Structure 1
Amino acid sequence: MTLRFRRNGTFRVLQMADIQDGPNVNEDTLRLIRAAIAEGDPDLIVFTGDQIRGYDPAYIDTFLRRRDDEPGEHIRAVTKLEARVRGITPMDESGPDVDADSANHQALLAAAMDATRQKVRRTFAAFLSPAIEAHVPFAATYGNHDFQCGVLVDEQDDMYREFDGCLNPKTDTVPKTDDDSQTKGNADPLACEPGTFALPIAASDGSDRIAMSVMMVNSGDYAGKAGDEDGEPASYMEGTPQALHSITHEFYAKHSRALDLADSAGYGSPSPEALQWLADVQHHLGEVNGDGKPVPAIAFQHIPPQEFYRCLRPVPAWTPNAVEGTRAFAGQCYVIDESVCRPGSMLGESIGCPDENCGEVDTLRNTGGYFALFTGHDHKNSFIGHVDGLDLGYAPTCGFESYGPKSALRGIRLFVFHEDDPAAYDSRMLTFGELIGPHSGDEVRVFFGDHLMTDGASVRNQLRRPKVFAAALLTLAATAHVVWHSVIRRLWYR
């Protein structure tokens, strides 16, 4: 399928971030997707990771906290609790003890994996159906939760291609010349690995000239290896110098995200092959156009790089609505830097970036052509900042089964690119509040998702919200009043 600018010189893209749902996709999520497609009239939809809620209890038997785990080996306590509430019994609790290496256990695990594959297909079918019905092509990359269901992203890539309109290319490797083994290179210069590929957009005049390109980037999931549940120090990937990982297990314990220990060594980054490909693919596109010049390009991925903090400015800890940085940026509070960010930008939580800077943003700048990098991952953030010639931006969650802002602010980002100058694009949020209404079908769940507190930093972030702080003061005053009249006053007048 050839993507092409319209005759009026525009190309419209919808970015959908962090659907993060299980087999039964929330109806409010589907309502938002349908309404955004109707309003945005897109030529392309990009899904920027965490489409799958990999830690959903539906996948409890095949859950992988990290890719090198055994299925079901490290299940989070909160997932076990949710499973009990939903009446889901894990495989290892549903019958007599079975040796993990026994044929019976392997047969049960194989059956569980087949069931998980069908559940993942069901999830895909649900959130893709509005795009398929509207005949809008789509592309998907991956986040840090997609694989946790037990189906790794290379297999998920194959599943996406089962649906009409999928533009994810098959990433076949190039055979070596000296034997039959394979390298990590790819036969298609437009594709690097699952979730990392280019989508050239042709000129409106009907020619083969590439006027712009959308780059999908797999930003990885977790760095190194997680420490054990009992607090043992984290180990690291084989061949990776330990000195690169400056964040210790003790530091993580102090500045964690508490509910998910998988990131005890930090979030992941694009692979070295992906970074090299980001440069090489521009050379290829320049050769296709015959002028050797990089084409205007925007990159989409899940996890933001460290440079996103440059869209913020540090402020004192008592500043209303400020958020604390996390991990490598812990100990400092931030707000949106209005001198570099577009009007309407919102910061609702800390930026969850890798502990180490892999140099991706420098690669984009040095290669040329790239004018923007957009991510998801941090569900409550929605801003666009311009730093050193490159736009850095977010789309918030468009899902309703995970944490995020209040219902009215959950949404899908619309881009309108102009053929004569793609870097001068227009962008706005298509929010649930604008398209459907201020309230979802489950405001209690949304309320708790908006006020989720998992550690000391998130508690302090909530208290910096003026309404939350006022409510906390009123609650404290009311409690003091009750205590005074029911206990202390009786003792005083005894």
Structure 2
Amino acid sequence: MRFREDGSFRVLQMADVQDGPDVLPDTIRLIREAIREADPDLVVFTGDQIRGYDPAYIDTFLRRRGEEPGARVRAVTEIEAKIRGIKRHPVIRKVSDRVADRLTEAGKPVPAALLDPDTVTNAVAAAGADSTDVITTSEVGDSVETSPTPETVSTLVYSTQSGKASPAHETPATLDELMNETREKVRRTFSGFLGPVVEAGVPFAATYGNHDFQCGILADEQDDIYREYPGCLNPDDSLEPGTFALPVESSDGSGRVAMSVMMVNSGDYAGKPEENDAQYPAYVVNPRGLDLADADGYGTPTPKAIEWLGSIQTELGERNGDGKPVPAIAFQHIPPQEFYDCLKEVPAWTPNAVEGARTHAGRCYVLNHEVCRPGSRLGEAIGCADENVGEVDALREAGGYFALFCGHDHKNSFVGHVHDIDLGYAPTCGFECYGPKSRYRGIRLFEFHESNPAGYVTRMLTWGNLVGRYSSNELRVWFEDHCVTGAVSARNELRRPQVFAVVAGAMSLGFIAIIRSLIKAAR
């Protein structure tokens, strides 16, 4: 990539598409209109392109990396699946070592086939010869029921739907078959939102968020799928999936790197879920409000990624021959804690204030307009990690970095300057997930000039600007904008003047009606 002859270079940041296999037409239209308006040189996707908890992925859903696909599904996904008529497939699974461990703990012999089975059917047959007991583990989806008769054993298979055996006529699938189905669904999602990008011939790059992997396909394999599409710049030799540099050369054709776009994988969830399984029931009950119930907060870039932020600047300086860091902007999904420094703490009754999350819980914030650019919007708490791994400090120490932009928090679209660097957001550009009103959903445009990349201009290309005030399903968007999942979100809603006015008006009318009824009864 290089700057244009006029010295300009344009980038579109698309955050939180967050859709299933059939990307909504409104999302595709917004992407197409933004590309038509901006004529970009590069499109960057900053994570959560995949709605990993969508019912379409119910058979391979991963609550956390390292789990067995489909073993633990969010209650809200189960409910949505029933509403949409999506049923879980009976599936033949490999028996885990945990089954053998439970038999050992119970003092029962472990059949040889159970130690290294090809399928559950083999294990059932082996176990059935020695025992008529039910073999279970503490986790949903790891139970095998045996039968005393060979005839019955031959018709039993594992089912994720009930955790018990299912008749063979239900034609169960193997886990490999279900994973292949999920891969094709991921390709359908990619084809949906990448369609306008590929049609326009614009190069693109993608990093990952905390929901992409939950479909069951991890980032390294998603990287391979992205590279199937023309224009994908994700390298196959990156430090890790989603962490790589995209140098932009000067317009004179000399090969000098005039600027670099840095893509950073900011992780997904912190902590070890297996050490916090006691909290799993809470996660199932309220998956959005308690998305972190079994984690130590959201994830962070890995230590090697933090180190890479400096080493890549050294490499680019050596490439230019002067050893100097190049002007650079970084993109990732989850914001670091320093984003809170773009806000100021205010009393709880302040209109439009939002309550902080986790390490910032119990305090209310509004934008600090002394450090934020005009047009900035704060719609929800900053969902940063509990741990500060020093990423912003690393950017400053490396030199050259002038901005870090994120997604993740769908209602935020502010840009602030703190710690000698710009910290900013793009809101969701999708219509299948929660977010702001339709007219505020959009895509962020950056316009850089070769002579001074750090003096860039950025603005939002919103649905309201490009298409119109309302989407094709405004009722759904209204619900996603005002959805209350707990006490904090309820208080945030009441701080919105229009919401407060409606609630206060309704309560006043109710109070007047009660007074009138009491007066009438007294007469």
TM class by shorter chain equals 0.7 to 0.9
Does structure 1 residue 344 correspond to structure 2 residue 375? yes
- 1:405-440 CA distances to partner (integer Å, 9 max, x unpaired)? 000000000000010110000000000000000000
Indicate which of 266, 271, 279 corresponds to 1:231: 279
Aligned length: 451
Shift of 1:68: 1.7
CA distance in 2, matches of 1:37, 1:96: 45
Does structure 1 residue 167 correspond to structure 2 residue 224? no
- 1:370-408 CA distances to partner (integer Å, 9 max, x unpaired)? 000000000000011001210000000000000000000
Does structure 1 residue 114 correspond to structure 2 residue 180? yes
CA distance in 2, matches of 1:80, 1:18: 22
Letter in 2 for 1:222: Y
Does structure 1 residue 155 correspond to structure 2 residue 221? yes
Residue 132 of structure 1 is matched in structure 2 by: 198
| Residue correspondence of structure 1 range 308-387 to structure 2 within 5 A | 308-387=339-418
Indicate which of 475, 493, 502 corresponds to 1:462: 493
CA distance in 2, matches of 1:97, 1:217: 35
Residue 436 of structure 2 is matched in structure 1 by: 405
| Residue correspondence of structure 1 range 20-419 to structure 2 within 5 A | 20-92=18-90, 102-103=120-121, 105=158, 107-171=173-237, 191-226=238-273, 230-231=278-279, 258=289, 260-261=291-292, 264-419=295-450
- CA distance 1:220–1:399, change in 2 (3 Å): same
- Secondary structure, aligned partner of 2:319: helix
Shift of 1:480: 3.1
Residue 179 of structure 1 is matched in structure 2 by: none
Residue 242 of structure 1 is matched in structure 2 by: none
CA distance in 1, matches of 2:61, 2:333: 20
Residue 451 of structure 1 is matched in structure 2 by: 482
Letter in 1 for 2:249: A
Shift of 1:23: 0.5
- 1:438-472 CA distances to partner (integer Å, 9 max, x unpaired)? 00000011001111211211111110000000111
CA contact (8 A) 2:354 2:380 kept: yes
CA distance in 2, matches of 1:135, 1:384: 29
The answer for unaligned runs of 5 or more in structure 2 is 97-118, 122-156, 159-171
Residue 473 of structure 1 is matched in structure 2 by: 504
CA contact (8 A) 1:78 1:259 kept: no
Shift of 1:192: 1.1
CA distance in 1, matches of 2:297, 2:498: 32
Larger Rg: 2
CA distance in 1, matches of 2:370, 2:271: 36
- CA distance 1:129–1:263, change in 2 (3 Å): farther
CA contact (8 A) 2:18 2:433 kept: yes
Percent identity of the aligned residues?
64
- 1:259-286 CA distances to partner (integer Å, 9 max, x unpaired)? 5246632000001111111111000000
Q: Give TM-score, length-normalised by structure 2.
A: 0.83
- 1:294-349 CA distances to partner (integer Å, 9 max, x unpaired)? 00000000000000000000001000000010000111100000111101110000
CA contact (8 A) 2:277 2:294 kept: no
CA distance in 2, matches of 1:391, 1:458: 28
CA contact (8 A) 2:366 2:378 kept: yes
CA distance in 2, matches of 1:263, 1:458: 20
Of 349-358 and 450-459, deviating more is 450-459
- Secondary structure, aligned partner of 2:446: strand
- Secondary structure, aligned partner of 1:193: coil
- Secondary structure, aligned partner of 1:215: strand
CA contact (8 A) 1:257 1:455 kept: no
CA contact (8 A) 1:49 1:376 kept: yes
Does structure 1 residue 18 correspond to structure 2 residue 11? no
Letter in 2 for 1:202: E
CA contact (8 A) 1:404 1:410 kept: yes
Of 35-44 and 258-267, deviating more is 258-267
- CA distance 1:476–1:282, change in 2 (3 Å): same
Residue 243 of structure 1 is matched in structure 2 by: none
CA contact (8 A) 1:259 1:454 kept: no
The answer for unaligned runs of 5 or more in structure 1 is 172-190, 234-248
Letter in 2 for 1:166: C
Q: Give TM-score, length-normalised by structure 1.
A: 0.87
Shift of 1:231: 3.1
CA contact (8 A) 1:309 1:351 kept: yes
CA distance in 2, matches of 1:170, 1:96: 33
Residue 452 of structure 2 is matched in structure 1 by: 421
- Secondary structure, aligned partner of 1:423: helix
- CA distance 1:9–1:454, change in 2 (3 Å): same
Shift of 1:257: 5.0
- 1:170-202 CA distances to partner (integer Å, 9 max, x unpaired)? 02xxxxxxxxxxxxxxxxxxx311000000000
CA contact (8 A) 2:16 2:428 kept: yes
Shift of 1:108: 2.5
CA distance in 1, matches of 2:66, 2:93: 24
CA distance in 2, matches of 1:401, 1:263: 25
Letter in 2 for 1:102: V
